[in-house]
Amino acid sequence: MLRGAVKPLVRQFARSHFTLRLPAYMHAREKYGDWSRNQLLRRIAQLEGRAESLGVDVPPPESSPSASDAPPSSKKPPRPYDVSAQPCRKVALRFCYDGGSYSGLAAQVGQMTPLPTVEETIWEALCTARLVDATKSMEEADWSRCGRTDAGVSAAGQVVALWIRSRCVDERPWRYKTGDEPIVLTDASEEELPYVATLNRLLPPTIRIQAWSPVRPSFSARFDCVYRHYKYFFTLGAPHTLTWQPESPSQFVGRLDIERMRDAAARLVGEHDFRNMCKVDASKQITNFRRRIDGATIDYVSHGWSDSEIPEPIPYRTDEPMYVLNLRGSAFLYHQVRHIMAVLFLVGARLEEPSIIDELVNVETGAAAADRVHARQWLTSVEQEDAATPDKMRMASLAMPHDDMPTVETRPTYEMAADRPLMLWDCGFRPEQVSWRASTYAGPLPASATCMDYTPSVRALSQLHALWTREAIHTELTRHLVLASSTGHGTQLPASTSFARARTPLVPASADMNEATGRAHLVPLGNGVVRPTTRYKPLLSRPRDVSAEAKNQKWREGKGRRRAERRAPHSDPI
């Protein structure tokens, strides 16, 4: 729904930049309808600046009554509200968002992005609600995030921490380190400010605050997190009942081999050097690429809202089921999950063997074998429930890597998987650090939560379900577009169809798939993207990237030196 203040801005934007036609206006409504007023103003300023640089004249805005013509108001101007003078406390916020509507999570200070970022959208809502000081920066609010996500990547359980206005306690002495004790303003059973309900009223429907928690003053959403859990969704691949044009170079020749992918994923468990399955960000000057993977399974995605685990069915030959890579670890490198998924796709497409994982982590002689030994020793300390997952059981039964396995010191060139199917599912903390609640209750949580008021959470859940309903209907509409277009006999389509058959449309009988043997290989990249190739070159035969050390040194001598010179204080001439 368009807010009252946003709708005129969208209409004015469409009239100023287009010859207003109904399709253009409807496109503007669909694209910018959920943006806030400040986001729309920044976008208009960005487009006007781009038009000016191209020498395009921007029509002046529609005339409106000037402020001088308006009758004088008898109302007194509102008194200024100083948020910094109000009591505050340190809290953590847990929220979810659809990454397709934003240019990533982190706010880009001093940079213009095509879409707003999630953090700046939440920060604007916090400022509008006067929960933080709008004259200060996020850094001054001690803002910390748990897991940074890029543009297009979604999150179901993202966490940030910051200082925020409070009605129950004043922790400013802890915030500013004055040495005094915090001041308790109300009884612990009294209600705190309605953080969840207030922010969800101001945020677009693609961002929902799920809960909040009191935390200690030194709490960091990044460094106090004990694990990050990512999910990457993908389909098994089109069945043989769906065939494309015979002359197409991307003729489908098979579906993903899930068992091969599970075999490869099990080899990720444990601590490895992942420099060959990530993108080296030289500005971070990272020299340690060892990360521990606590779990790596490929699981069937069941439909509906079951309250118990559903066993994985055997896919019928005409089905196209959904699967998900569940990947949990203490921390992840830049684009690590998408690089891992790209390699798993190559294994599932039968272009690489599952042992390619062992070869990519074998950055020095014997590294893969040593990692396997340490992983099996680590398994003895894992809780029994987690030790019995399929990935741990597969890893324990794998043969040890060969001693003559080639070393891969630098990353072979390959394209990482698409961003849209990736989701940050959960960020884990110790129970003594956070106690999530959706209500305004600020005291210690009881053992039973039956007395808690979860109205804000229920409202957010219903809004998310409505969003899912719209997307599910859109998915089914698209599936019917495929059913209306597919044919197994060249380009022929029937002139008419009986009502009995049209009620539940079926795919026509497919052509003989044996004709496709020997055609181009498909390299899947997720989200429906494939790269056809007639001559696939194995990963270890491809050109190698430069080493991380060389990239770090080049950055230090270039951008790093210039950045240090800009930040260094200028000395006065003698």
pLDDT band at 146 (very low <50, low <70, confident <90, very high): very high
238 and 365 inside one domain: yes
In a domain, 36, yes or no: no
CATH number, domain at 181?
3.30.70.580
Residue type, 213: S
What pLDDT is stored for residue 249 in this prediction?
Answer: 41
Look at 50-64, 411-425, 445-459 and tell me which has the smallest mean pLDDT.
445-459
- Give dist(CA 488, CA 243) in Å, integer: 6
Quick one: what percent of the chain has pLDDT higher than 90? 47
Residues 270 and 219 in one domain: no
pLDDT of residue 415 exceeding 80: yes
Residue 213, classed as helix, strand or coil, is: strand
Same-domain check for residues 207 and 247: no
Q: How many residues are there in the chain? A: 574
pLDDT of residue 279: 93
Q: Are residues 253 and 213 in the same domain?
A: no
**Residue 73, domain member (yes or no):** no
Residues 356-395: tens digit of each pLDDT: 999 999 999 999 999 999 999 998 888 888 888 999 999 9
Using 50, 70 and 90 to split pLDDT, how confident is the model at 574?
very low
Tell me, yes or no, whether 71 lies in a domain.
no
Note whether 218 and 244 are same-domain residues: no
If one compares 176 and 78, the residue with the highest pLDDT of the two is: 176
Are 196 and 254 found together in one domain?
no
The number of distinct structural domains making up the chain is: 2
Whether residue 571 is predicted with pLDDT greater than 50 in this model: the reply is no
Residue 562 has, within 13 A of its CA and on its CB side, a CA count of: 5
Q: Is residue 11 part of a domain?
A: no
Residue 410 falls within a domain, yes or no? Answer: yes
Who wins on pLDDT, 154 or 46?
A: 154
Query: Which token pair is 51?
Result: 């038009």
Token pair for 467 = 């969003």
Sign of CA dihedral 185, 189, 193, 196: positive
Catalytic residue among 34, 69, 150, 371: 150
Find the mean pLDDT for residues 459-478: 87
The reported pLDDT for the residue numbered 61 is 67
Whether the Cβ atoms of residue 409 and residue 547 lie closer than 8 Å to each other: yes
Q: Is position 319 annotated as part of the catalytic site?
A: no
What is the rounded CA–CA span in Å between residue 180 and residue 174?
A: 7
Q: Domain holding 365: CATH number?
A: 3.30.70.660
Query: Is the same domain home to 437 and 403?
Result: no
What is the arithmetic mean of pLDDT over 159-163?
A: 97
The dihedral through the CA atoms of 47, 53, 56, 57 has a sign that is: positive
- How much is the pLDDT for 425? 96
The answer to the question of residue 515 being in a domain is no
- What is the bridge-based pairing of β-strands 154-165 and 422-428? parallel
Residues 165 and 236 in one domain: no
In this predicted structure, what is the pLDDT of residue 129? 94
In the predicted structure, residue 449 carries a pLDDT above the cut 90 = no
Please indicate, yes or no, whether residues 257 and 190 belong to a single structural domain of this protein. no
pTM: 0.83
Q: Is residue 314 part of a domain?
A: no
Provide the angle, in degrees to the nearest 10, between the axes of the packed helices 390-397 and 258-266: 70
Q: Are residues 280 and 411 in the same domain?
A: yes
Per-residue pLDDT tens for 518-564?
A: 455 678 899 888 888 778 899 999 999 999 999 999 988 888 888 88
Task: Tell me the pLDDT tens digit for each residue of 280-298.
Answer: 988 889 999 999 999 999 9
> If DSSP codes are grouped into helix, strand and coil, which group holds residue 166?
coil
Q: Flag whether 102 is in a domain.
A: yes
- Distance, in Å, from the CA atom of 380 to the CA atom of 110, rounded to the nearest integer, reads 49
Instruction: Give the residue-averaged pLDDT of 210-224.
Output: 95
Question: Which domain range does residue 276 map to?
Answer: 226-302+319-381+389-428
Paired tokens of 130: 């006067």
- What DSSP designation does 439 have? S
pLDDT of 451 strictly over 70: no
Same domain membership, residue 237 and residue 207: no
pLDDT, tens digit, 9 for 90 and up, residues 418-443: 999 999 999 999 999 999 998 888 87
Same domain, 116 and 168: yes
Cα–Cα distances (Å) from 445 to 89, 136, 195, 562, in that order, read 18, 32, 17, 51
